[in-house]
Amino acid sequence: MANSEFSIHNSELAQPQPRPYRIIISGGGTGGHIFPAVAIANELRRRQPDAEILFVGANGRMEMTRVPEAGYRIVGLDIAGLQRRLTPQNLLFPMKVFRSVRKAGKLLEEFRPDAVVGVGGYASAPVLLAATSRNIPCLIQEQNSYAGLVNKLLSRRVDRICVAYEGMSKFFPADKLVVTGNPVRTEIASGSRAEALQFFGLNPAKKVLLVIGGSLGARTLNEATAAALPLLRAAGVQLLWQTGKLYYSQAAQQAAPFRADNLQALEFVQRMDLAYAAADVVVSRAGALSVSELCLTGKPSILVPSPNVAEDHQTKNAQALVNNDAALLISDAEAPARLYDEALRLLADEARQQQLREHIRTLAHPNATTTIVDELLKLIK
């Protein structure tokens, strides 16, 4: 009897333990796709420390360096988007898609994921096509208020669609939609103003304008800002001007005579939490990630959408805020003439700043990443 009891007990102990989750996250091309993808991976890893996470990107795109920097493994596909004009590369597009779908299929068979996440961009299409054809649970995350082409085409094949804006049923099946907001680092809103002023060497008695043009920079914003430096000095306004790496050398020379007035040209802002904390007003492009950060930090903002993006989606992102009286919008074409008159007017109007702060905060989704991972785990379970 004792041996029998021991055998039963030992058999119970020997039951196989469930293996760690395996998740593939696909997409990229821009920071607006990559940073949300990494935020999702980080939240997965926080909850499931032993989860195996594999990224799939497009060879030659920025995810191939940014994802490893964040501590994750990535595999590249030889895939690129269609050009808007007739080019020899477009003739190769069907073959690249076919080869990428086949490679994605092999990856799925080797890695055996429990679910696949697509964040938009070239690489997400072949992975999601291969995954949905194998009945692997799939979730896509759409960052913009105007849906990307890949996500629209794949929306009927996937199981769940996490979006940042209301009213997305005009692009996607309504029964699959969950309004989650965009994954944003919550620490972006935790900066101390006192620490920020000290960090940037700013005068607490003067207003601060923050100008953000993205990691590469924005020509229109940089040219308008350079022209407005004497105006800002005369108004006693301090400036944190994130120029981007392409424009920094020229901008630094233009700002040098104004350094004593705290008009600072910065190639890249490592501590964005402190930059937001220091700012009274922000001038920014209207990429999905930037808009989500502005909502989370509650900053009065003037948005200047880039005209060089697919489907003019930045204007639609900005308009979603304007429709809620949560930001001001100036077109790229109007910016050289109007931007800094509007910025100085807003800096001088405390009541309007407070109104914009209150309205933009109502659009924030501080728990976006958590909610997206909740939806993903539901699909697996």
pLDDT tens, residue by residue, 118-136: 998 878 999 999 999 999 9
Q: What is the pLDDT of residues 350-365, one digit of tens each?
A: 999 999 999 999 999 9
31 is in an annotated binding site: yes
Question: Do 177 and 191 fall within a single domain?
Answer: no
155 is in an annotated binding site: no
Q: What is the residue type of 162?
A: C
pLDDT above 70 coverage of the chain, percent: 90
63 is in an annotated binding site: no
Question: Do 218 and 335 fall within a single domain?
Answer: yes
Question: Do 174 and 200 fall within a single domain?
Answer: no
314 is in an annotated binding site: yes
Give the predicted TM-score (pTM) of the model.
Answer: 0.84
180 is in an annotated binding site: no
CATH, residue 87: 3.40.50.2000
| Residue 141: domain span | 18-182+366-380
124 is in an annotated binding site: no
Question: Residue 8: inside a domain, yes or no?
Answer: no
287 is in an annotated binding site: no
Between residues 227 and 9, the one the model is more confident about: 227
Give CA separation, 68 vs 49, 110, 111, 215, 352, in Å: 18, 20, 18, 18, 43
Question: Do 72 and 122 fall within a single domain?
Answer: yes
Position 13 pLDDT exceeds 70: no
144 is in an annotated binding site: yes
Total domains in the fold of the chain:
2
283 is in an annotated binding site: no
Q: Which of 84, 163, 145 is nearest to 329 (CA)?
A: 145
Question: Residue 227: inside a domain, yes or no?
Answer: yes
215 is in an annotated binding site: yes
331 is in an annotated binding site: no
290 is in an annotated binding site: yes
Question: Do 251 and 164 fall within a single domain?
Answer: no
Question: Do 134 and 241 fall within a single domain?
Answer: no
Mean pLDDT of 326-349: 97
Say which residues have a Cβ less than 8 Å from residue 291's Cβ, sequence separation at least 6.
Answer: 303, 317, 318, 320, 321
201 is in an annotated binding site: no
Question: Residue 5: inside a domain, yes or no?
Answer: no
